[in-house]
Amino acid sequence: MDSFIINGQRKLQGRVYISGAKNAILPIMTATLLTAGKSTLTNVPRLNDFKNMAHLLRFLGAKVEHENEQMIIDTKEINQYEAPYELVSKMRASIYVLGPLLARFRKARVAFPGGCAIGTRPVDLHLMAMERLGAKIKVEHGYIEAECPDGLKGSVIEFPFISVGATANAIMAAVLAKGETIIKNIALEPDIDSLIDCLILMGAQIEKVNNKELLIKGVTELKPFEMKMIPDRIEAGTMLLAAAITKSSITVSHCEPKHLEALLSKMEQAGCRFEINNEDCHPLQGEQPFEITIYPAQKINPVDIVTEPYPGFPTDLQAQFLAYMCLADGSSNLKETIYPDRFMHVAELNRLGADIQVSGGMAIVNGVAGFSGAEVMATDLRASATLVLAGLAAEGMTKISRIYHIDRGYERIEEKLNNLGADIKRIL
């Protein structure tokens, strides 16, 4: 199993290019199941989560090619509606095939996703949405058995609280349902907006009634699409925090600053300054990509955060921000409201010399003078990125094992950071 060896306390400098967004691309890959034909996704990095999703789509009968950041998914020959445990257990986002398979084949058999390091993560809201659209659902032998012989029917779906995944599944099911569907209390993540843009490109009729409600008029058929994927705000945020924690100034390019407002304002409170520019060095068709240059705080102010659904502070940057607050001049409180148990990284950061207590979904971080390198273990995707950040700031050498987690959501992170001046080696 691969590990990282990091020699810390090197200043970073230069420009880092942000890849396409994992959490936007995964549902769009499954949206291709809603049509029979060849769809093209561009700006798609090489992530293990995409390999797993491609395996699942191929198992269902699709052809998937991925070269040079371009992914072509041909769904003409889909002949299966079952997502087996051995594929679903690798990646929870496999649940995204439920809505499209039900919508297209009027039946789906999807393994019930198991546990996860960051929390229990039930899928009851996904099932509730499918039942609202008329599907009959039973869970047996670890599988969700869903069917709607007469096809899905438009209805009103109201989520009791925000779920990104259930919102995406409900939208993908409703676009081919008979009649109109209203979805209330939707997730507002840019990943959802990107999915809606993609479905509209395919011919879906989706309208935002107000900020939290969608009206979907079902259509009988959708067509393949070609679409460029949005930049990954979590990768961009991770790189900005890598600069801040090493007190380095870098430029993060090809990102979308408006997707990062919650993070940028908290980092400004910590004492960082930012310059946001149009990247006129290589304009892209029809878009003005942006770049953010960070000027780091030399004396880091302690800042409290509460994670919330978008546009609030993202839970997927909580661990990285927590590592940054370990070096603040004072104490800060970090409340995790999305996954109250998402603190697996704390014990590992304390091994690197941090001083953090956790209770009841809250981490109290007492700032320390610095991290000292040690052997630590990654437990999930964002926790592993956090340990890399702490290793970059640590005095001496840090060894991080189980880094397979990081390859799920970051493309060649050690190469990108080494190009900025870090000293990270991947050992097999």
Of the residues 10, 126, 233, 345, which one makes contact with ligand EPZ according to CB under 6 A:
126
Q: Does 123 bind ligand EPZ (CB under 6 A)?
A: yes
Site string for ligand EPZ, 169-198 (x = CB under 6 A): ----------------------x-------
Q: For residues 287 and 197, what is the distance between their CA atoms, to the nearest angstrom?
A: 15
Phi/psi of residue 280, nearest 5 degrees: -85, 5
Applying CB under 6 A, which part among 21-29, 194-202, 281-289, 352-360 lies near ligand EPZ?
21-29
Of the candidate residues 30, 181, 248, 315, the single one contacting ligand EPZ (CB under 6 A): 315
Our finding on whether 283 is near ligand EPZ (CB under 6 A) is: no
Q: Which is nearer to ligand EPZ, 272 or 338 (CB)?
A: 338
Question: Could you tell me the sign of the dihedral formed by the alpha carbons of 416, 417, 419, 424, in that order?
Answer: negative
Percentages (nearest 5) of helix, strand, coil residues in the chain: 35, 30, 35
Q: Check if the beta carbon of residue 373 is closer than 8 Å to that of residue 6.
A: yes
Structure tokens at 103: 């919508």
Burial of 113 (0-12, 13-18, 19+ CB in 10 A): buried
Per the annotation, the verdict on 198 as an active-site residue is no
Interface with ligand EPZ in residues 61-120 (CB under 6 A) = 93, 119
Structure tokens at 292: 């953010």
- How is residue 277 written in tokens? 């520019």
- Residues 387 to 416 in contact with ligand EPZ, rule: CB under 6 A: 409
Contacts to ligand EPZ from residues 22-41, by CB under 6 A: 22-23, 26
Based on the shown chain and the rule CB under 6 A, indicate whether residue 266 belongs to the binding site for ligand EPZ. no
Query: Which CB, 253 or 386, lies closer to ligand EPZ?
Result: 386
Of these, 232, 256, 291, 316, which contacts ligand EPZ (CB under 6 A)? 316
Q: Which of residues 197-236 bind ligand EPZ (CB under 6 A)?
A: none
CA contacts within 13 A on the Cβ side of 214: 29
Q: Which residue of 65, 86, 124, 355 would you call a contact of ligand EPZ, by CB under 6 A?
A: 124
Nearer to ligand EPZ, 173 or 272 (CB): 173
CB of 330 to ligand EPZ, least distance (A): 28
- Please report, in angstroms and rounded to a whole number, the separation of the first and last CA atoms in the chain: 6
CA distance 245 to 9: 10
Q: Is the peptide bond before 289 cis (omega within 30 degrees of 0)?
A: no
Q: Which residues bind ligand EPZ (CB under 6 A)?
A: 22-23, 26, 93, 119, 121-126, 163-166, 191, 315-316, 338-339, 381-382, 409
